[in-house]
Amino acid sequence: MKKKIVAIALSMSVCGGFITSADFPTAKITNGLIEAELYLPDAQRGYYQGTRFDWSGVMPRLDYKGHSYFGIWNPAPYDPKLHDAIAGPVEEFVAVGMNEAPIGGEFLKIGVGTLIKPDAKPYSFMTPYTLKNEGEWTVKPFKDKVEFTHELTDAAGYGYVYRKTVRLTKGKPELVLEHSLKNTGTKPIETQTYNHNFFMIDNEPTGPNIKTTFPFEVSAEGRNFGMIAKAGNKAITYSRLIESGEFVFSAGLQGFGATSNDYSMLIQNLKTGASVRIKGDKPLEKFVFWACHTTSCPEPYIKLSVKPQEEIHWKITYEFKVETPK
């Protein structure tokens, strides 16, 4: 992989006790209110080398007013190529061109590169696809932000320049993810993207102390909804702790409208008073929800449609707050 990294800070990281101390390309940022740490893209030494998630923006730590918001949620034995060896407000783009690609041909995962289609089966994020074209990453860390650029040219006709800035707002307890995607290929790019939002507020296990509130009357069906998780009164709550090995899942929350006003949610730790409000500037395409013992994850999807030579922009804002528990 061709790679340019400017002024990278390297650090020894111990991740939640699940792996031993290891040296990963890392950047630390602060605005005086929030401190955060990011793992940087690197095909040989990066913390995350899987083919599911965008390699930029992996964040194992964010602290505000003595409260922690992210961590290593997955207790599985660490493997950099594991699809869920990931942390923070990380994003995934739906695969592009897989249905059209022949077996042995290439399809596109933005923020990762082009992957080899091994058989006629539909895309599965759990499949360890072979990464053929890694593109070129440029990473520029600053005191309060990190700028990522991923450029890719693919013989199958897909190409792009993807830019993402992870920025802490000056004077505010706020994190902003700013994105742009320029289509430099000959084929249109039609995809969806979502943020998995692996929050672990103060390492609280998922249960009655965790609440996610929406601006709309939310309803949900799926695994363990109505049993462990409950959707109602504009919120998702839990009747008890989710035990290790259990999870809740809904493939499609219902109730949101057609404007960006409904791309908004508040995740609270009711015991410690720490919370985060998430806002997006695009309308929701669909809304998935998943939670396990260690993390509770609203996954809002937006649609991206980019013609050749066209460039689009979008952003997600995270507002952190700490209040005295009631």
CA distance 27 to 326: 36
- Beta-bridged to residue 257, according to DSSP, are none
Question: C-alpha distances in angstroms, 235 versus 15, 24, 89, 215, 268?
Answer: 31, 38, 20, 9, 11
Cα–Cα nearest to 95, from 164, 168, 190: 190
How does strand 2-5 pair with strand 136-141? parallel
Query: Amino acid identity, residue 323?
Result: E
Helix and strand numbers (H, E) in the chain are 0, 24
pTM exceeds cut of 0.85: yes
Torsion-angle region of 281 (φ positive above 0: left; ψ -120 to 50: alpha; else: beta):
alpha
Which tokens belong to 311?
Answer: 């460039």
Q: In what order do the strands lie in the sheet with 113-116?
A: 106-109, 113-116, 131-133
Question: C-alpha distances in angstroms, 303 versus 44, 98, 201, 252?
Answer: 32, 17, 28, 15
Query: Coil, helix or strand for 265?
Result: strand
CA distance 280 to 300: 9
Torsion of CA 78, 83, 87, 177, to 10 degrees: 150
User: How confident is the model at residue 325, as a pLDDT?
Assistant: 85
**Per-residue tens of pLDDT for the chain, all 326 residues:** 444 444 333 333 333 334 433 579 999 999 999 999 999 999 999 999 999 999 999 999 999 999 999 999 998 889 999 999 999 999 999 999 999 999 999 999 999 999 999 999 999 999 999 999 999 999 999 999 999 999 999 778 999 999 999 999 999 999 999 999 999 999 999 999 999 999 999 999 999 999 999 999 999 999 999 999 999 999 999 999 999 999 999 999 999 999 999 999 999 999 999 999 999 999 999 999 999 999 999 999 999 999 999 999 999 999 999 999 87
